[in-house]
Structure 1
Amino acid sequence: MLPSISRRHALLFGLVGLLYLAVVLAILYDSPLVDLDWSLQQLRPYRQWPGALPYLDIWVIAGQRGPTAIAACLWLGWRCYRSHSARPLLVMGMALLLLNVTVGGVKILTGRLGPHYAHYVGSPELFSGGSIFPSGHTANAVVTWGVLAYLAIRWRRTGAALAALTAASIGLTTVYLGTHWISDVFAGWAAGALVLLSLPLAEPAVAALDRRVLAAWHREGRFARPAPAAPRPRPAA
């Protein structure tokens, strides 16, 4: 049975879902959003400040799943050890699984080519064997840094703001570098946000897995809390 969520949460989930669907339909039906894609691509912003390209390439790495997921999971593994709970890693694993399934599925279905491989000006470049829509960099940045904010014990609002700024800047940087259309980034933001909004619904499954993992670890003698020290005998008066 799914847990209950607030009306505000449900409304936000619905609005983000509609936004995601609107972007997908706008690409499929060759709307003015595709014209905006081409207008930005023809500006070739990466040629304006070529000296900044190496630094921007490094910054975009913060949106790649491999480096960010490894760094985040190392930190969350430490959190698991300190809290005697597998929940931090299980939440991240659940989020990355949802991300891979949902974003990967849309990438396969749309088959969109990126700006550097586009064939015809004004074409949405769909079903051409590409894998650019939605932006995986952007969606991964939303999910990875968003999960860290979701799991934060203190400074959660600050963490959420930093996660949002990081995801926004990484998405826009991919447009500047010419590796993504702006519509890819819009869809990536929405796709990542939907994964984050789905996490509260997955909490019962995470809790059940956490209990099983902890039971297995305790059977193997791991994560066992140290026994309290025996009281010292008082000296005779």
Structure 2
Amino acid sequence: MQINLKNRRAIVTGSTAGIGLAIATGLAAAGAHVVVTGRTQQRVDEALVSIAKNIAGANLVGVAGDLGTRKGAEHLIAQVPDTDILVNNLGIFEPKAFFDIPDEDWQRFFEVNVMSGVRLSRHYAQGMAKRGWGRIQFLSSESGVQIPAEMVHYGMSKTAQLAVSRGLAETLAGTGVTVNAVLPGPTRSEGVGAFFAKIAAEQGVSQDQLERDFIATHRPSSLIKRLATVEEVANLCVYLASEQASATTGAAVRVDGGVVRSIV
């Protein structure tokens, strides 16, 4: 199967590192004109250099801004009024005991993880529907299905993304626009890698050992018995953005290494 996204514009939020950068790279490799977004111009510029170095002839543009705010979303929309593919990847996570999570943290997680995608989808989906083609994705998580006790606020935001994704798919029925949620499992992204590296240093063990211990203790249902790579997640996202995925919509598609014990 050859995925060809030539002449398609794609926006990937939070795409200066980790899963987002891998998705942006994968879409560029498939020929899409990719809009890279991040909080600072420096991070955006570094991501553009990284993608261009790996993908010869990549068609790229960068937009800096905080998409976890209404102002940031409005800035992106002003810079890039239309797109064919929108990947709502922007997200934050933070382990914290339930009784230690203040109201401000609940609101912050909802704004960044949920409302960033709501605001952009509300704008871009209308243009997609008028043109009769479009792809919208929400990067949720297996934590949206199996809420982790160590970060309930994060799990809540990921469950909310599932609801928004399915509801928007229903709203766009028959338009040629597909909407799906992607559910990664534990993934060795930049943020997760830095978190494990810090804990490993504190405990005096290797990061590889700490990761194996984490899977064995906290995600024992994993079938691959390891963290996924960002590229493994990105591969699914690139497929869902393609013409070949035209009958996949309203779905919560897992790339969780089998962590969720479910046959559907």
Q: Which TM-score applies when normalising by structure 1?
A: 0.31
Instruction: Report the structure, 1 or 2, having the larger strand content.
Output: 2
Rg: which structure is higher? Answer: 1
Instruction: Report the structure, 1 or 2, having the larger helix content.
Output: 1
Q: Which TM-score applies when normalising by structure 2?
A: 0.29
Between the two structures, name the one with larger relative contact order (CA 8 Å, sep ≥ 6): 1
